Structures are given as C-alpha cells and as structure tokens.
Amino acid sequence: MTAILSPAIKHYEWGDFAALPDLLGLPQDQKPWAELWFGTHSDGHATLQTANGETQLKNVVGDLPFLLKLIAVAKPLSLQTHPSTAQALAGFARENNLGIARTAPNRIYKDEAAKPELLCALSEFQMLCGFAPVNESIDRVEKLGLIELAKHLKLDGLEKTVHWALNEKSHPTAKNLPNHLQALEALYPNSGGVLVALLMNHIVLAPGEAIFLEPGNVHSYLSGLAVEVMTSSDNVMRAAFTKKHVDMNEFLATANFFSETPKLVSPNMASHDVAHYDISSAPFSVQRLKVTSAISLTAEHEVEIFLCVQGQSGSLNQGQACVLRRGENLSLTGPSIVFRVWGDPII
C-alpha cells in the first residue's frame, strides 16, 4: 500500500489564501497558505500512517538530506540569502555558545546545513535573483531620477552601495518604479530594500521552467506557485521586506555581490516524458514525470519522495506525496505531472 505523506503546513503572511487549498482540493480557511513541507526537518515534520498509527516520517526513514516543498507566494518574501556549509557550521555553533534557543525568534542558524535551492515553477513565477550588471543598474536608476543611488554605484561599486542602502534608515520614495516593484514600495515605503531590488535581476519563470540558487545568492520571491527542493535546512539571513528577525551584519557577510544573469536549469530529457534537473553541485536530484499512461516505477535510491502536482494518477491524487524505500514500487496511471526527488545519504 502506498505510504501517503501529510505535510507540515506553513501559514506565513506572504502566502496565498487559495492556491494550495485549491491544489489539494480543500476548502479555503481564511489563512494564507505559504508552504507545504514534505521532509524530516525539525521545524516541520511530514507524517504518515503506519500499522501502529500516525508517526513522523523521520521515524520511518531517518533524517532525509533534502526537503521538498510546495510554495505559494501572494506577497513578496523577505530579501534574503542562505549560508554555505562552512558558514552554517560556524553560525550554528556560535549561536549555541551564546545560548540562543533554537526556537527563539532571533535565532538565524536553525541547523548546520547549507541551503542551495532548486525552484520549478507550476504557474508563472516572478522573483528577484542576484544582481544585474552595474552599468545596467546605473542606467536604470538614473532614468528613475535616483541620482544619489547612481552616484554610490559609480563611486563605491555594488557591495558598498548595497551596504549603504540597507543601513540607512530611510530613503526618498522612489517614483515610477517598474511594475514588479510597485508592491514592494507600497508595502515597505522608504525602504533601502527597494533600492537594492532595483539593482537585481527580475526573473519570470513559465510553468515547468526551473532555476537553481547557490548559497549566497540574494533573492526575493514575488509571486507564483512552485515546487522547491533544497537541502534539509531552514537557515535564512534576512535584510528587508519582513516582520521576522533581521540581522544585517549576517546577511551582508553571507551574501554574494557579483553581477551576473541567472541561468535557468535546462532539464535533461531522459525520455519524452521524463525531465531530469541535473545540478552537479546539489546534494539532491529532481525529476519531472509526465504520466500519460499506466506505468510502474521502482525506487532506485535509499529514499525517494513522489509528489503529484497536476491530475490524478491512481496511487497519488493532485497535491499528494508518498515515500518509497529502495526496491519498492509505485504504480501511476495518469494523466498527471509527478515530481520525483532523492538525495545523497547523510554521512
């Protein structure tokens, strides 16, 4: 019998009231549904039914090295970045030594893991991701009349300009902002984060398109529905656009300030119906299966999670996920879209 997972549900204020309940076929409850976590992280355990009743997924498969999420963004997320492994190890130990409780609101390092992320869009998905070339940013902000911001870029370069923008308590309201930044200015007027957003790449993903965020990548999700896969980590350094804890020094110390145009992850097509998002530096692997007829799959790795995001597929309905151990089988009937995720063992 297929082991169906019940995810941990996250109701953050930036979540969507309808997208995830509608995907799951559940009534809306006047709460913003932001994320569904299918994993074993201590901040959000998935559960499943066993012969002895409901239990945490961790009790059945141990600690997973990856975390699979469904994410629905209706309002902009915080301007944020994530640490490398070395930074996470040092930060986790430092906060432990300071006696900061792991559940404290000012705790930054919840675990010892880096947090690279793959995001695959299920709807049009808009985000800010990394910094645009400085010359392009200078031209953009001069056209908007932000002369002081342009002057800092010319004289001080990108990193010092970001420091200045975020550390100044208030800035003049920017006028005639691009459409994708108007919600930010409305929600956070006079914020230096809006000036930083003007220096970043605006990325719009179509359904099925994916992007990989390395540790240190500065980003903010703006809107849309997506599947997100990452290491099993909840380490987030925030700088703006949030009521949660902000640690500017830690954000600036972990952020990357080089300019480049982010590259989408082009999946390798193992077949017409199997797309593999191959990222050599990621400790997890992701496939997108287009199920058009009845198929039987066998788990080839220690633990695999399957998540149906569209259609009904026999063993899995839309919004449902299940877990398989190596050698176990799953029958899918389609038509449906199913994500398959596995990761490197924790050593």
Give domain status of residue 105, yes or no. yes
In degrees rounded to 5, what are phi and psi of residue 116? Answer: -70, 150
Query: Which of residues 241, 265, 289 is at a domain's end?
Result: 265
Return the bridge partners of 79, or none. Answer: 240
Q: Does 261 share its domain with 150? A: yes
Asked which of 64-78, 129-143, 223-237, 277-291 is least confident by mean pLDDT, the reply is 277-291
Token pair 């990989």 is found at 212
Per-residue pLDDT, averaged over 264-270, amounts to 87
CA distances (Å), 67 to each of 40, 87, 149, 334, in order?
A: 7, 20, 39, 25
Per-residue pLDDT, averaged over 196-209, amounts to 96
Q: Does 109 share its domain with 214? A: yes
Torsion of CA 135, 141, 147, 151, to 10 degrees: -30
Q: Does 162 share its domain with 272? A: no
Is the predicted pLDDT of residue 279 greater than 70, yes or no? yes
Instruction: Please state, as a whole number, how many other Cβ atoms lie within 10 Å of the Cβ of residue 69.
Output: 22
Token pair 């980003």 is found at 219
Q: Does 88 share its domain with 160? A: yes
Cis before 335 (ω within 30): yes
Host domain of residue 174: 76-265
Per-residue pLDDT, averaged over 41-46, amounts to 94
What's the domain count of the chain?
2
Q: Does 287 share its domain with 332? A: yes
Q: What is the pLDDT of residue 180?
A: 94
